[in-house]
Amino acid sequence: MRLTWLLSLPAVLFVASAVPIEKRDADFLSVRTKMHKDMSGKGGDPKEKYFHESIFHPHYDGRFADHELGYRERKQALSNLIQTYLATMADIGVETWLVHGTLLGWWWNRKILPWDSDSDVQMSESSMHYLASYYNMSVFHYKTPRIPDGRDYMIEVNPHYVNREQTDKLNVIDARWVDTTSGLFIDITTARYNWTHPAGEGMLSCKDGHEYRDTYVFPLRDTFFEGTPAKIPFAYKEILEAEYHAKALTLTDFEHHHFDQDKLEWIPVVKNVDSKKPPPKKEEPKKKAQPKKAEPKKEEKKTQSQQKGQPAGASPEKPPITKQPKQEQNSPANKPDPNRPNEQQKADEKILTAQAKREAEVKKAEEKRREKEQKAIKDAEAKEQKRKQEEEQAAAAKKKAAGEQKAEPPKAG
Ligand SMILES: *[C@@H]1O[C@H](CO)[C@@H](O)[C@H](O)[C@H]1NC(C)=O
Ligand SMILES: *[C@@H]1O[C@H](CO)[C@@H](O)[C@H](O)[C@H]1NC(C)=O
């Protein structure tokens, strides 16, 4: 009986381990259930390109989706996407921070900009290596009150992540967090230390062309995004201004939306009401007509540049943050901006106050610890002194006793 069990165990192990290995290598096109046609766009991409955007929209993964979502559906899916991503990364101990349009959304109301159709985050090179080593193709199932039907999210790491060079233009995205139901995803890029940067030490480069001085990024600030704990670069304001120009931080009419100061929400502007606005661009022929569509101009630009194989967000009129000014002692990111909407300023102040409070607490704790240490050292010294004294006294007493013994010979008897 026992022998049988022992003999069959290796066989069981073999079967159990064979399944995941096979699964890992499976082409997702062959395991999809819902679709009849390859929408992955893989056919038209160069062989060296790892991630394939769908043929109907560059922000959908064609292995999992064959159509665009409507405005509301997409907003909800993107919100769930970033929440599950942030929660998962926190769970597995990967430090990640918001960038680009996602950071701009955070600036306004701690939410995704409703006209965006993807999210952008960054992480360090060691974090990316960790993801690649332990979590590539891992699927995380989330069933929450906000995702009552349950959804699978997958981490996929580009094998070209080991190539640090910006010349690898087809693989500027290092990893993705993919919603396997809608096909929407988060682009994850690595901020690598650039050892040959002309600006010297401390420069971070991404393969998509974005560059940052590390003191602008670290220490990261703790905050919330879409109601979930998140991190943002230290000098988020300068980073946003360099990437989008200062106006993007104060302009309340943008991409056919108006920012409602009371609700702290971007509200879609109904077409034709605002006659000063130029008419929206014609939709691409392939796109299906959607009732409530608010596709941004910016995104179309990005699409074209991506199709040309150029890095996203690196259009000539918007250079990435190259030569940044040297970090000043008192970063303007810490100062209130008179042009900012009141509510945003208040929210910011709250974050800064919390940060200052935490710093003060840490300082206090450190002082306390030092005091304790000093006292412990003094106590130990006093104890040692006392011990020595006692020893000396004991020795003296012994000597004295011995002397007395010698002087007084033992009585006979
Ligand atoms: C992640 O897994 C996929 C599928 O097996 C594979 O094609 C890709 O090369 C892997 N990435 C890394 C970084 O190993
Ligand atoms: C380092 O920075 C230079 C200047 O921006 C850039 O040309 C080069 O590609 C960067 N190297 C890496 C590894 O990112």
Per domain, the residue ranges of the chain are 19-335, 336-377
Q: Which atom of ligand 2 is nearest to the CA of 211?
A: 5
Taking the C-alpha atoms of residue 122 and residue 243, their distance in angstroms, rounded to an integer, is 15
Residue 39 is predicted with a pLDDT of: 74
- The CA-based angle 158-162-167, given to 5 degrees, is 90
The least confident of 220-224, 343-347, 380-384 is: 343-347
Q: What is the pLDDT of residues 178-222, one digit of tens each?
A: 999 999 999 999 999 999 999 999 999 999 999 999 999 999 999
Q: Which of 204, 205, 206, 210 to mutate to test the pocket of ligand 2 (most atoms within 8 A of CB)?
A: 205
In one letter, which amino acid is 377? Answer: I
Residue 340 has pLDDT above 70, yes or no: no
| Confidence band for 365, pLDDT divided at 50, 70 and 90 | low
The mean pLDDT of the chain is 76
Residue 240 has pLDDT above 80, yes or no: yes
312-337: b (≥16 Cβ within 10 Å) or e: bbbeeeeebbeebeeeeeeeebeeeb
Mean pLDDT throughout 267-280? 60
> Which of 3-12, 248-257, 347-356 holds the top average pLDDT?
248-257
SS3 per-residue string spanning the chain: CHHHHHHHHHHHHHHHHHHHHHHHHCCHHHHCCCCCCCCCCHHHCCCCCCCCCCCCCCCECCCCCCCCCCHHHHHHHHHHHHHHHHHHHHHCCCCEEECHHHHHHHHHHCCCCCCCCCEEEEEEHHHHHHHHHHCCCCEEEEEECCEEEEEEEEEEECHHHHCCCCCCHHHCCCEEEEECCCCEEEEEEEEEECCCCCCCCCEEECCCCCEEEHHHHCCCEEEEECCEEEEECCCHHHHHHHHHCHHHHCCCEECCEEEECCCCEEEECCCCCCCCCCCCCCCCCCCCCCCCCCCCHHHHHHHHHHHCCCCCCCCCCCCCCCCCCCCCCCCHHHCCCCCCCHHHHHHHHHHHHHHHHHHHHHHHHHHHHHHHHHHHHHHHHHHHHHHHHHHHHHHHHHHHHHHHHHHCCCCCC
Q: Which of 129, 131, 157 to mutate to test the pocket of ligand 1 (most atoms within 8 A of CB)?
A: 157
Q: How far is the CA of 305 from the centre of ligand 2 (A)?
A: 20
Residue 407 is predicted with a pLDDT of: 58
Q: Which ligand is nearest to the CA of 164?
A: 2
Give the bridge partners for 120, in sequence order.
187
Q: How far is the CA of 196 from the centre of ligand 2 (A)?
A: 7
Residue 313 is predicted with a pLDDT of: 36
Residue 44 is predicted with a pLDDT of: 75
Residue 136 is predicted with a pLDDT of: 97
- Residue of minimum CA distance from atom 2 in ligand 2: 197
Residue 25 has pLDDT above 70, yes or no: no
Q: How far is the CA of 203 from the centre of ligand 2 (A)?
A: 9
| Cβ atoms of 234 and 219 closer than 8 Å | yes
| Backbone angles phi and psi of 142, in degrees to 5 | -120, 125
Q: What is the pLDDT of residues 33-59, one digit of tens each?
A: 455 566 777 767 888 899 988 888 889
Taking the C-alpha atoms of residue 217 and residue 201, their distance in angstroms, rounded to an integer, is 14
Taking the C-alpha atoms of residue 326 and residue 331, their distance in angstroms, rounded to an integer, is 10
Give the bridge partners for 231, in sequence order.
222
| Cβ atoms of 195 and 165 closer than 8 Å | no
pTM of the model: 0.64
Taking the C-alpha atoms of residue 150 and residue 144, their distance in angstroms, rounded to an integer, is 7
Q: Which ligand is nearest to the CA of 133?
A: 1
Residue 360 has pLDDT above 90, yes or no: no
- Residue of minimum CA distance from atom 13 in ligand 2: 165
Residue 378 is predicted with a pLDDT of: 84
Q: Which ligand is nearest to the CA of 167?
A: 2
In one letter, which amino acid is 375? Answer: K
Taking the C-alpha atoms of residue 80 and residue 147, their distance in angstroms, rounded to an integer, is 8
More confident: 86 or 369: 86
Residue 11 has pLDDT above 70, yes or no: no
Residue 276 has pLDDT above 70, yes or no: no
Q: What is the pLDDT of residues 84-99, one digit of tens each?
A: 999 999 999 999 999 9
- Residue of minimum CA distance from atom 8 in ligand 1: 159
Q: What is the pLDDT of residues 97-124, one digit of tens each?
A: 999 999 999 999 999 999 999 899 999 9
Q: Which ligand is nearest to the CA of 196?
A: 2
Q: How many CB atoms lie within 10 A of CB 194?
A: 19
- Residue of minimum CA distance from atom 4 in ligand 2: 197
More confident: 249 or 285: 249
Q: Is 138 buried (19+), middle (13-18) or exposed (0-12) by CB count in 10 A?
A: middle
**Ligand 2 pocket member 201 (CB < 6 A):** no
| Confidence band for 321, pLDDT divided at 50, 70 and 90 | very low
Taking the C-alpha atoms of residue 306 and residue 312, their distance in angstroms, rounded to an integer, is 6
Question: C-alpha dihedral over 275, 277, 279, 281, to 10 degrees?
Answer: -170
- Nearest Cα to Cα of residue 158 among 284, 44, 51, 48: 51
- Residue of minimum CA distance from atom 6 in ligand 1: 159
Residue 309 is predicted with a pLDDT of: 36
Mean pLDDT throughout 341-364? 63
Residue 328 is predicted with a pLDDT of: 35
**Ligand 2 pocket member 189 (CB < 6 A):** no
Residue 332 is predicted with a pLDDT of: 41
Q: How many CB atoms lie within 10 A of CB 375?
A: 10
Q: In this structure, what token pair is assigned to residue 105?
A: 């959304």
Q: Is 223 left (phi over 0), alpha (psi -120 to 50) or beta?
A: beta
Residue 288 is predicted with a pLDDT of: 36
For a pLDDT cut of 70, what percent of the chain falls above it? 65
